[in-house]
């Protein structure tokens, strides 16, 4: 199979498990060297990196808590120092917090914005200093950043609506440099954070026309497309990977 990303370097935040790990594996499959970040589980991150190296690419692990502005701002320079360049940024790290308005604390708001919005902004701002012409920024949003189908999603949905808005704005800002900026908006995906057989799955499952949760690999395949040469004319888009959830 032709490796469309050979010679490229990708950075995937939150790449130690779930969707992030699947994205890292898919980009490595396409030949990219990959840096991944983790917040707390170095062992899990190193396990992912070892699997990537088995594919014949370089893979490095960086501790960078998305809640820490200082760690996120330092991340891109570290990646470039170790791997020589950066071509693809995938802003995947995120947190989910739910609850009705009258039970939501100010600290919950601050934490959600810090990880789901500010970290995306900071990573992208540092990345554009080094991305070459034709570089890629791919933000992982959510279908809850397009529609709010259930109560208790205020903070999470707010943050993902923000990601969609930043994506469209940055596509305009960076178009002259041929850097594309797009967002993937996953629907219900079967991960340890949101298992298909869990309580939340019982609510969301019947809302999916295809009749089942997606897999992390479904999101990873969409990322690989947007990162590759065939998507050079795609920018400012939000691509739903949701089994028809938003149909």
What is the arithmetic mean of pLDDT over 191-200? 88
- How do residues 92-124 score in pLDDT, each as one tens digit? 999 998 899 999 999 999 999 999 999 999 999
Tell me the pLDDT band of 199, cut-offs 50, 70 and 90.
confident
d(CA 183, CA 91) in angstroms, rounded, equals 9
Domain annotation for the chain: domains and CATH numbers: 9-199+208-241 (3.40.50.720)
What is the arithmetic mean of pLDDT over 22-51? 97
150: tokens are 């259930």
Nearest CA to 155 out of 89, 218, 120, 109 is that of 109
Nearest CA to 17 out of 58, 40, 45 is that of 45
Count CA atoms within 13 Å of residue 233 on its CB side. Answer: 1
Report DSSP letters for 169-206, one per residue. Answer: HHHHHHGGGT-EEEEEEE-SB-SSSS-TTSHHHHHHGG
Nearest CA to 91 out of 108, 72, 71 is that of 72
Cα angle 148-166-12, degrees, rounded to a multiple of 5 = 95
Report DSSP letters for 86-154, one per residue. Answer: --EEEE---------GGG--HHHHHHHHIIIIIHHHHHHHHHTTTPPTT-EEEEE--GGGT---STT-H
Residue 151, pLDDT above cutoff 90: yes
Residue 73, pLDDT above cutoff 90: yes
What is the arithmetic mean of pLDDT over 122-139? 98
pLDDT of 1 reads 57
Share of the chain above pLDDT 90, in %: 94
Active-site option among 156, 161, 170, 245:
156
Share of the chain above pLDDT 70, in %: 100
User: Which pTM does this prediction carry?
Assistant: 0.97
38 is catalytic: no
Tell me the pLDDT band of 2, cut-offs 50, 70 and 90.
confident
């Amino acid at each position: 199979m032709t490796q469309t990303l050979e010679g490229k370097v990708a950075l995937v935040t939150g790449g130690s498990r779930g969707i992030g790990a699947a994205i890292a594996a898919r980009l490595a499959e396409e030949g990219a060297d990959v840096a991944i970040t983790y917040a707390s589980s170095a062992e899990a991150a190193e396990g992912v990196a070892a699997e990537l190296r088995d594919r014949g690419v370089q893979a490095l692990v960086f501790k960078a808590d998305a809640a820490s502005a200082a760690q996120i701002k330092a991340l891109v320079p570290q990646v470039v120092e170790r791997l020589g360049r950066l071509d693809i940024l995938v802003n995947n790290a995120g947190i989910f917090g739910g609850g009705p308005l009258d039970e939501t604390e100010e600290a919950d708001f601050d934490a959600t914005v810090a990880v789901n919005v500010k970290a995306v902004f900071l990573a992208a701002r540092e990345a554009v200093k080094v991305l070459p012409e034709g570089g890629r920024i791919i933000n992982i949003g959510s279908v809850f950043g397009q529609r709010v189908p259930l109560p208790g999603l205020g903070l999470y949905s707010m943050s993902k609506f923000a990601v969609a808005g930043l994506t469209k704005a940055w596509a305009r800002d960076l178009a002259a440099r041929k850097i594309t900026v797009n967002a993937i908006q996953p629907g219900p995906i079967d991960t340890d954070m949101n298992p298909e057989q869990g309580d939340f799955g019982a609510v969301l499952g019947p809302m999916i026309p295809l009749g089942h949760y997606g897999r992390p690999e479904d999101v990873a395949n969409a990322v690989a497309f947007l990162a590759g040469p065939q998507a050079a004319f795609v920018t400012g888009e939000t691509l739903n990977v949701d089994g028809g959830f938003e149909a």
